[in-house]
């Protein structure tokens, strides 16, 4: 009996030591708490009949509840999400194109922001290389989804104008607001940014302008070897070259570049390691990120179809040119979250990140988005080319030149931001009075 009693005492001491060890680990490692709460780990400590054995269904419900709470209810912009189902309801009940267009426009804005959020969360699990590719692919997913739906319906000019408008919006409005707000907060000094990064992006934007300029000049000078075919062939060839250059740029950005061209993550870490360590902790799991990425993409695709189908009716109902809708109104959808993010980082004196959001997004669209749509149109049998017409190409060319001059000093202030915003207002007014007249050989039936 004495031996049995001593064995029980030793057993109880072992259990107590295990429990103390469990408590100590839980103070420093939240993951250990979750692991030890699983049935397989609880059995290591033993359990009396009828002891605590949490069910998988209960934990699953908690995970789903926490994920929905984090993704859906943690952002104030998500109050616009109900406009998505309302779009479908209004389309079924009334069919009013103007109202459907407005509601779908508002409904896509929070979905575009959450799509970017899910991409960022997934990138934290994949490492910098794959994460960079994910951001490059899904960074402008909303614009590409809208463009592909318009391309499928034969609305080539809407595709061209919406992509052009997204570039102009990022370079003038988003960057201008970032410079302006950051300059107001830090009005006693000039904010600085990485001039090497801005120079590389400016060079890529000028190359994109060159790719758009030659097909337009070839068409309007009537110097094509085969009228209506040489322009399209040149556009497809140039698009393949531009996609190759963008792939090389990604490789350079993610693998090859050293100290003179600092990645955004390293640049941000220079402002405070502790702050960034907290920011880099994923808020949702890897597979949760994948599921939310698929949900947001599918929901954006559904609303994009209603948005694209209502564009022409909205133009007639509101008496607004399609060029103004494509260049000014549609980019609001994809750039709303980027706009807010760029301003937020500029007001925290992190201009390199703001520049990466604004100019980096413009580079993605010009060197990846536009050539990608040309190749997709080639596969679909649609004559999508790089001839954006003289007025649009000239607008892009002047915008790139103006922004390149603003970035060459590597510093910013609120006055530079104000000038960029006013330039965007001039561009918007120009497209409001611009009548788009596509040539007959480029038009296609839906």
What tens digit of pLDDT does each residue of 211-269 get?
Answer: 999 999 888 888 888 777 888 999 999 999 999 999 898 888 777 654 443 444 444 44
pLDDT above 50 (res 31): no
Closest alpha carbon to 390 in 438, 320, 337: 438
pLDDT, residue 342, reads 82
Q: What is the 3-state secondary structure (H, E, C) of 210-279?
A: HHHHHHHHHHHCCCCCCCCCHHHHHHHHHHHHHHHHHHHHHHHHHHHCCCCCCCHHHHHHCCCHHHHHHH
Lowest mean pLDDT among 19-23, 114-118, 195-199, 395-399: 19-23
Query: For residue 151, how far is the Cα from the chain centroid?
Result: 20
Name the more confident of 255 and 358. Answer: 358
Give the model's confidence band at 73: pLDDT under 50 very low, under 70 low, under 90 confident, else very high: confident
Phi-psi domain of 385 (left: phi exceeds 0; alpha: psi -120 through 50; beta: other): beta
The single-letter DSSP state of residue 422 is: H
Rounded Cα–Cα distance for residues 354 and 348 (Å): 10
Hey, is 144 helix, strand or coil?
helix
Rounded Cα–Cα distance for residues 83 and 111 (Å): 11
pLDDT, residue 63, reads 79
pLDDT mean across residues, the chain: 78
CB 147 within 8 A of CB 331: no
Q: How many CB atoms lie within 10 A of CB 413?
A: 17
Lowest mean pLDDT among 62-71, 86-95, 380-389, 396-405: 62-71
Rounded Cα–Cα distance for residues 426 and 422 (Å): 6
CB 395 within 8 A of CB 169: no
pLDDT, residue 212, reads 92
pLDDT above 70 (res 442): no
Global pTM exceeds 0.85? no
Residue pLDDT, tens place only, 168-190: 999 999 999 999 999 999 888 88
Listed as own residue / partner, the contacts of 134-140 with beta carbons closer than 8 Å and 24 or more positions apart are: 136/250, 136/364, 136/368, 138/293, 139/360, 139/361, 139/364, 140/166, 140/334, 140/361, 140/364, 140/365, 140/368, 140/369
The alpha carbon torsion through 368, 261, 256, 210 (nearest 10 deg) reads: 30
CB 327 within 8 A of CB 164: yes
HSE (side-chain half, CA atoms, 13 Å) at 257: 18
% pLDDT > 90, the chain: 30
Rounded Cα–Cα distance for residues 301 and 145 (Å): 6
Rounded Cα–Cα distance for residues 383 and 286 (Å): 40
CB 120 within 8 A of CB 289: no
pLDDT above 70 (res 425): yes
pLDDT above 80 (res 206): yes
HSE (side-chain half, CA atoms, 13 Å) at 78: 12
What number of helices (H) and strands (E) belong to the chain? 21, 2
pLDDT above 70 (res 279): no
Lowest mean pLDDT among 210-214, 340-344, 363-367, 430-434: 340-344
Lowest mean pLDDT among 5-14, 124-133, 171-180, 340-349: 5-14
Lowest mean pLDDT among 227-241, 388-402, 427-441: 427-441
CB 198 within 8 A of CB 355: yes
Hey, is 191 helix, strand or coil?
strand
Owner of token pair 């007014």: 429
Give the model's confidence band at 136: pLDDT under 50 very low, under 70 low, under 90 confident, else very high: low
pLDDT, residue 167, reads 93
Rounded Cα–Cα distance for residues 268 and 272 (Å): 7
């Amino acid at each position: 009996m004495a031996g049995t009693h001593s064995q029980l005492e030793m057993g109880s001491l072992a259990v107590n030591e295990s429990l103390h060890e469990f408590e100590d680990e839980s103070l420093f490692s939240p993951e250990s708490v979750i692991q030890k709460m699983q049935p397989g780990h609880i059995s290591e400590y033993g359990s009396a009949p009828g002891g605590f054995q949490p069910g998988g269904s209960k934990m699953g419900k908690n995970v789903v509840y926490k994920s929905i709470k984090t993704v859906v209810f943690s952002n104030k912009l998500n109050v616009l999400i109900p406009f998505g189902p309302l779009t479908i309801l209004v389309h079924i009940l009334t069919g009013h194109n103007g109202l459907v267009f407005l509601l779908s426009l508002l409904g896509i804005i929070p979905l575009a922001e959450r799509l970017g959020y899910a991409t960022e969360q997934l990138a934290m699990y994949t490492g910098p290389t794959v994460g960079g590719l994910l951001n490059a692919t899904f960074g402008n997913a909303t614009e590409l989804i809208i463009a592909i739906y318009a391309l499928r319906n034969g609305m080539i000019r809407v595709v061209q104008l919406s992509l052009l408008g997204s570039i102009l919006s990022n370079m003038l409005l988003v960057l201008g607001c970032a410079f302006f707000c950051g300059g107001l907060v830090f009005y006693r000094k000039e904010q600085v940014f990485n001039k090497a990064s801005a120079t590389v992006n400016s060079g890529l934007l000028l190359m994109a302008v060159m790719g758009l300029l030659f097909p337009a000049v070839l068409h309007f000078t009537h110097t094509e070897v085969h009228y209506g075919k040489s322009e399209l062939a040149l556009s497809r060839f140039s698009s393949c070259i531009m996609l190759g250059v963008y792939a090389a740029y990604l490789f350079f950005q993610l693998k090859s570049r050293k100290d003179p061209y600092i990645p955004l993550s390293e640049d941000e870490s220079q402002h405070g390691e502790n702050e960034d360590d907290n920011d880099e902790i994923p808020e949702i799991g890897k597979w949760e990120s994948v599921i939310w990425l698929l949900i947001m993409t599918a929901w954006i695709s559904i609303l994009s179809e209603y948005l694209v189908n209502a564009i022409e009716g909205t133009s007639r109902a509101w008496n607004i040119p399609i060029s103004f809708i494509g260049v000014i109104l549609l980019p609001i959808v994809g750039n709303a979250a980027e706009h807010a993010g760029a301003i937020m980082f500029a007001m925290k004196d992190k201009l390199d990140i703001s520049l990466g959001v604004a100019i980096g997004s413009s580079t993605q669209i010009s060197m990846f988005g536009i050539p990608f749509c040309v190749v997709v149109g080639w596969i679909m049998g649609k004559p999508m080319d790089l001839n954006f017409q003289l007025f649009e190409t000239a607008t892009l060319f002047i915008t790139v030149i103006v922004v390149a001059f603003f970035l060459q000093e590597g510093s910013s202030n609120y006055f530079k931001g104000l000038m960029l915003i006013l330039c965007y207002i001039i561009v918007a007014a120009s497209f409001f009075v611009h009548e788009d007249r596509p040539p007959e050989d480029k038009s296609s039936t839906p």
